């Protein structure tokens, strides 16, 4: 028989309901996706307005108004990455979508700006931006936000430069969009290397840093030889002990340096 004086145990407190749906997917992510088209229209309108303002003050030569907006977007993403060590989706997704919108409008002959790239070229720029950083993403060298930042850059560059007709039309050297994406990335990689060297000299942990670079090199070899799963697993373990670097900053610096060289120094 049970003890009549015994008090039944209190029911467990309700566990907090996580902000995810039944699939474990982040609701905030889907809210950002839902707002991305609207924010993309804001970026699109900003590019069109910058085009008109540039034309009013400099009616001849290359109208680089949209590039000013893109540079602002890259600097904004780099600043947030340096501050919070992540590039938020509310910056990257709208940049990607607005680049595609620009390309589609060019295909339909809408004179929104001086760009000559269509939707397919914008998507190609997005894809190349992704592929250039994917190996580093696979081994944990960069974050997903950095990759999406590069994809947004590629989308705008593809829509603006196209196959080179934008710059050729004003007497400048042909700047093919995919070349701009590649060399912007290459300059960013050099800036990232310089940034890493500065961090190494500041921390002065020579042996640990040398070992880290050897491991990264080994993982790149594993990735190239088709052993991506092992490389990714090793990278995940390594991320627990290394100092995070905001790679969005060198990506931004590389893009600005390349554009400055081609359009200002050589233009």
Query: In whole angstroms, what is the distance from residue 164 CA to residue 96 CA?
Result: 20
What is the residue-level pLDDT of the chain in tens, covering all 267 positions? 445 555 555 555 554 544 444 444 567 777 877 889 999 999 999 999 999 999 999 999 999 999 999 999 999 999 999 999 899 999 999 999 999 999 999 999 999 999 999 999 999 999 999 999 998 888 777 889 999 999 999 999 999 999 999 999 999 988 999 999 999 999 999 998 888 788 778 777 666 666 666 776 777 777 677 776 776 677 666 666 666 678 899 999 999 999 999 998 886
Phi, psi at residue 64, to the nearest 5°? -100, 20
User: Residue 70 falls within a domain, yes or no?
Assistant: yes
For residue 109 the two structure tokens come to 């002959």
Total domain count, the chain: 1
Angle between helices 27-57 and 89-107 (to 10 degrees): 50
DSSP-derived secondary structure for 82-101? HHHSS--HHHHHHHHHHHHH
User: Residue 101 falls within a domain, yes or no?
Assistant: yes
For residue 258 the two structure tokens come to 């390349």
In three-state secondary structure terms, 20 is strand
User: Residue 42 falls within a domain, yes or no?
Assistant: yes
Place of tokens 């060590």: 85
User: Residue 94 falls within a domain, yes or no?
Assistant: yes
User: Residue 24 falls within a domain, yes or no?
Assistant: no
pTM over 0.85: no
User: Residue 105 falls within a domain, yes or no?
Assistant: yes
Query: In whole angstroms, what is the distance from residue 201 CA to residue 199 CA?
Result: 5
Angle between helices 144-161 and 89-107 (to 10 degrees): 20
């Amino acid at each position: 028989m049970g003890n009549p004086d015994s008090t039944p145990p209190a029911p467990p407190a309700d566990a907090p309901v996580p902000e995810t749906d039944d699939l474990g997917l982040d609701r905030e992510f889907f809210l950002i996706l839902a707002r991305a088209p609207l924010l993309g229209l804001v970026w699109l309108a900003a590019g069109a307005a910058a085009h008109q303002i540039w034309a009013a003050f400099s009616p001849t030569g290359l109208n680089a108004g949209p590039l000013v907006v893109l540079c602002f977007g890259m600097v904004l993403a780099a600043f947030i990455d340096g501050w919070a060590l992540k590039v938020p989706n509310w910056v990257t997704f709208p940049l990607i979508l607005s680049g595609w919108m620009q390309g589609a409008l060019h295909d339909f002959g809408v004179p929104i700006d001086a760009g000559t790239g269509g939707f397919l070229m914008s998507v190609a720029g997005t894809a190349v931006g992704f592929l250039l950083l994917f190996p580093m993403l696979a081994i944990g060298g960069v974050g997903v936000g950095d990759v999406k930042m590069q994809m947004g850059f590629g989308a705008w560059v593809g829509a603006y430069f196209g196959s080179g007709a934008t710059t050729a039309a004003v007497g400048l050297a042909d700047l093919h969009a995919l070349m701009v994406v590649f060399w912007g990335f290459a300059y960013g990689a050099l800036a990232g290397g310089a940034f890493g060297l500065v961090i190494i000299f500041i921390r002065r942990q020579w042996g640990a840093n040398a070992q880290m670079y050897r491991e990264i090199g080994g993982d790149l070899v594993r990735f190239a030889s088709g052993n991506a799963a092992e490389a990714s697993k090793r990278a995940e373990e390594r991320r627990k002990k290394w100092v995070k670097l905001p790679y969005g900053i060198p990506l931004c610096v590389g893009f600005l340096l390349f554009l400055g060289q081609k359009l200002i120094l050589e233009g």
